[in-house]
Structure formats: structure tokens, C-alpha cells
Chains A and B, each alone.
Chain A
Amino acid sequence: MSDDIDLRDIEAFLYREASFLDRPDLDGWIELYTEDGTYWMPAIEDQVDAINHISLFYDDRVMMEIRRRNFVHPRAASKDYIVRCSHIISNVQVTDSTNDGLTVTSNFQCVVYYNSKQTLYAGRYTHELLTVGDEFRIRHKRVDLINCDGVLGSIIIYI
């Protein structure tokens, strides 16, 4: 990656992604991903394998498209409640860079209001970003919840 990418631009991109989830607007959110982009929420700390080990989420474009349609389906009982989120992202660091992309880690806290209850999710994001001119696209987003291996309720939306 060239040195001219400003950390503030990367942060602005992460905030933009989070703001789509805050609303939530999955149509807009999906557009931030590359066609082969993936979203992963492991079920254990330091999980290395999403195929031979269970995860909470592991979606590629096909699953994102299904989830986006399901999210607004009038008969989805679990979506019959208002969903509002508030993300806070900090400690943004570039941990790796290549010719066409970079890896960014950050800490997050996300409060989800759903079915009369607020749930706090917290942990670490790892974004593998593709640089396209001045823009970014997400090749892979990894969400490591600090309680990924604990007892959890329904996780109704991407975090």
C-alpha cells in the first residue's frame, strides 16, 4: 500500500460501514463488499477455520443476499421488532498492507436495541480492504466478540 493513504480515510470508511448497520440498511451495507467478500463471526477465540469449525456467522455474497431479503420479509417473526444499533469504533490500526489492499484492526462496541431490550456486543474487528482508487471495498470482515464462546441470545443483525 502506498504511504499516502490517510488513517483518517480508513476510519471514515469503517464509520461509514458501521452507519449502514446502525440504521440498519443492509442494501447499502452489501455494496461495500467485493463480489467475493465475506463476513465472519467466529465462535471461539483465535478461530482459524470457518469450514471445519462452527461459527456464529460465515456469509459470502449468496448468504448476504438471502439475509438482506429475509431481513425485510413481512413474515419473519424475529424481524417483527424494531432493530436499532449504535456502533463505536476505536483503536484503528493498519496491521498489513499489499499492492492492492490493507488489513485494519479496530476495537468496537455495539449496542443493539431489539425486542425491548438492549444488548451490548464488544470485541475486535479485522477488515481486509481492497483499495480501488480513492475508495475501499471489504474483502473480508472478521468480528471477534469477547464473549464469542459464551451463552448468547439471537444475534439478529450483522454486528
Chain B
Amino acid sequence: MTCTDEDIDGLVTPTKIHRRVYTDAAIFDLEMQRIWGKAWIFIGHESQVPDPGDYTTLTIGRAPIVMVRDKQHEIHVLHNRCGHKGAKLVDKPCGKVGGFRCCYHGWTYRLDGKLLGVPHMAGYEDTGFDKDDPQYSMQKLARYESHRGFVFASMDPSAPDLRTWLGGAGDVLDNLCDRSPEGEVEVAGGVLRYEHECNWKMFLENLNDTMHPMIVHRSVVDAANDYIKTLPEDSPHRDEAEIIPPFGASYENFEATGITGFRYGHHYDGGKSSIHSNYSVDPDYEAVMLEAYGAERTREILTFNTHNTLYYPSLTIKSAIQNIRIVRPIAVDRCVVETWSFRLKGAPDSMLQRTILYSRLINSNGSMVGPDDLTAYFRMQQGLESRASEWVEMHRNYGSDEDHGDRWTNKGTSDLDMRSQYGAWRHYMIGEAV
């Protein structure tokens, strides 16, 4: 089915979303061009490519991309495509190269993407082929910038600068870094890659959906509480006992956490409180933080407690946990979610260990949390094939979002997050002011 801008305009209203937005492959194709081809997309963290020649690969929409550090230590984000016949130049998740060399006809490129060598050049004499024509080099993405080590890129030359685009939501990325006594984080402890049989937006819409945990995650909360009850009072402390039960918090608790939305579809739940608020603090960690920042600033940093923060459309972070998830759309009914963990530089090992534990308990393919969320998404994907009703609704607390100029707030149980995302969706898809 083809889509005109007029068609798209009718698919999302302030309180509802048409089922085609999740099920129509033509809409998905347009999203890849208009959202993923325009927005700032998270590429990776600078710590993943510490030395010249280090690279990591990814896709933006369908386009293969490589992030690489050159010999001047500058990071580039390039299309991972040979200028000759289009073969991907590197095809591993990460690695190290002296330069790029195509596996097919041996064209070679510098680490900044510039075409260096073409074998047997004689055949190109007097053909109009010019090796120095930039079109034959690896193409740089139109824009790439880093914020505190987090590298984003956009294929839109007229995109706003990264800091403007992040807006007030950037506070959470800053908070993640500030939780290090050195103010810096680095990727550590590996990655999980989790296939989701659902539209990519369903994953995003769940992040600040605080009406689901007490339903979807009730079983693991019950199982944990039932077992913990059987343990003797003097049993050793278990981080699991702090991490799992808050998923069963009450509607009132989640309502009180609040949701804050920003331009370009970003939002977070929590701020003053979240389901991570009551974690115990390692005294060794507290000591290095106090040493680095003093009491007042340490308190500010550690009490800014958000749950999930979305940087629409690609990146979601948990600053209080120090993990991130990245969504990669594959098809209208399929995406991959990656979970990465971060080390707070200068913090005791216990901090990374808790991050790893959290990622495993909550986000792993083998966890008792992620698969229940995924079951809900999968069933929505199937259920929305029904044409009995054409709409998905997002009315909760509609009309009471409070406008603070640069941000909107409402109750933690509101659909403000959905309204925020679909404001951005309309902006990218049909050019509506964001």
C-alpha cells in the first residue's frame, strides 16, 4: 500500500494511533527514510573504539554503518559500503583495521573513508573515472557529534545540533556520566542481542508505560517474594531482592514518579523517585563520590533518579543502573534490542557488578522480565492484524499535560510518553513542527 502525507496525517491523532502504524510495511519503509534517515541516531560510545583503527558496525534503518577512529584519534561515522560496487567493507560487530579494504576487488580506503587505492588503474584511463571524486570514497554521514562520549549521527544535513536536539533530556545522559567520580563512563561487560517479534515502536512505548509492570511482571515479583519469605531473617543481602520486587509497585507509586517529555520525542519517568530509588549504596562508592564532588553535589547526583529515558528513536538509558538499550528495526514486525552496560570510571567494581546483574535479571533473553514484556508486544503485533477496530488508544490523562516551556510533565501513569513520541513521529514523517 502506498502512503501520501495526507494518509499519514490521518494515522495519528492526539489520543489514538491507527493499527497500520504498526502493521503496514509501507509505513515502515517511510519510517526508515524519514525518522531513521533524519533523526540523531545513537552510534556507540567512544570507549568502544579507543585506538586508531578500532571500529564498530551497526545499521541505521537498513543502512550499514561503521564508527571508526582515525590516526589523528578523530572518530568518524561512515557508510559501510565500498565506493565501487557497494560491498560492505567490514562485516564483524567490531574489530581493528589499518585501513579498509574491499573483499571483492581490493579497493582500499583510509580510516576517514577517503579512497586510497584502486588495483590496475590503467583500465580507467580516459574513461571519465576520477579516483579523487568524493563519490567513490566511503561516504561520511551528514552529521556526527559526541556528547560526553556518546556518539550520535544524523543523515540530515539540516538537523539541529546534537545538544539542541537532546534538550532537557540530556540531563539524564549527564547524570549517567556524573555518577562516575571522574565524570566519565566506558562500555564494559559485553552485550546482549535480543530479537523481538514486534514493531520497533512497541518496545519504545513500553519504556515509560507504568501501567504494565504490576500486571506483566507480577509472576516474577510473586515468585521472588514467595521465595524470599522462606529464607531465614539473617540471610545474606541479595541485590536481587532490591531489583525484582519494585516491578510490582502499586499504581499510586508509579503515578507519583511522574513522566517528563521533551521536544523530538524524548521522555523519562521518575526524577525525584523511581523503582531504582531504594537501592542500597555501596559505602566505598559513596566515599569516592564524596571525595570527588562534596556532599551537596553527590546528593544532587544520586537523588536524580530516573527509570527509563528515551532518546527517540534509537537509544534508551537507565542512568541509575548504568545500562542502555538500543533498538534496531529489521522489518515492520521485527526488531533487535541490544543491552550494553557501563563502568563508572573511578568507582568500585561492585557498581559494574550490579549493572551486570541488573542487565541479566531484567534484560537478558533468559530473564524472567524481558520475555514477559516481549509476549505482550508479540500479541499486540498479532492482535493488530484484526480490522475489527482500527485504533490503538492513548487517552490516559489527556488534556492535563503541564507545559513548562521546554518540557511537559504529567503523572507517571499518564500516556504523556506516547503523546511525546507521536509528536516526534508526525514531525519526522510529515514535517509537523515539533
Contact = CB atoms under 8 A, between A and B. Distances in A.
Contacts of B226: 69
B198 to A, nearest CB: 12
A156 interface: yes
Contact of B368 (A52, A55, A67, A151): A67
A149 B192 CA distance: 7
Interface residues of B, number: 44
B348 to A, nearest CB: 12
B349 interface: yes
A152 B365 contact: yes
B342 to A, nearest CB: 12
Contact of A77 (B193, B195, B216, B352): B216
Given A66-B223, A70-B368, A44 B190 contact: yes
A63 interface: yes
B75 interface: no
Contact of A52 (B224, B356, B379): B356
A153 interface: yes
B374 interface: yes
Given A70-B223, A152-B195, A57 B189 contact: no
Contact of B371 (A53, A68, A69, A154): A154
A78 B374 contact: yes
Contacts of A154: 194, 365-366, 370-371, 374
B109 to A, nearest CB: 27
Interface string B177-199: 00000000000111111110100
Nearest to A57: B366
A52 B353 contact: yes
B371 A156 contact: yes
A133 interface: no
Nearest to A67: B368
B190 A69 contact: no
A155 to B, nearest CB: 4
Contacts of B238: 62
B119 to A, nearest CB: 34
Contacts of B353: 51-52
B194 A152 contact: yes
A9 interface: no
Contacts of A156: 371
Contacts of B376: 77
A57 B219 contact: no
Contacts of B375: 77-78, 80
B69 to A, nearest CB: 23
Nearest to A56: B366
Contacts of A149: 193
A43 B227 contact: no
Interface in A104-153: 115, 149-153
B240 interface: yes
Q: B194, B218, B365, B376: which has the most chain A beta carbons within 10 Å?
A: B365
Contacts of B360: 54-58
A66 B247 CA distance: 15
A151 to B, nearest CB: 4
B336 interface: yes
B190 A53 contact: yes
B193 A54 contact: no
Nearest to B226: A69
Contacts of B191: 43, 54
B237 to A, nearest CB: 12
B341 A69 contact: no
B372 A78 contact: yes
Interface in B206-222: 215-216, 218-220, 222
Given A66-B368, A153-B365, A54 B192 contact: yes
B227 A155 contact: no
Interface string B144-178: 00000000000000000000000000000000000
Contacts of B413: none
A53 B220 contact: no
A70 B369 CA distance: 10
Contacts of A69: 222-223, 226-227
Contacts of B244: 66
A8 interface: no
Q: Which 6 A-B pairs have the closest CB atoms?
A: A76-B219, A69-B223, A73-B219, A154-B371, A70-B223, A78-B371
Given A52-B353, A115-B378, A154-B371, 9 more contacts: A44-B190, A54-B359, A54-B364, A55-B364, A66-B220, A70-B223, A73-B218, A150-B193, A154-B365
13 contacts: A43-B192, A52-B188, A52-B356, A53-B189, A53-B356, A54-B359, A75-B219, A79-B219, A80-B375, A153-B194, A154-B194, A154-B370, A156-B371
Interface of A: 41, 43-44, 51-58, 62-63, 65-70, 73-80, 115, 149-156
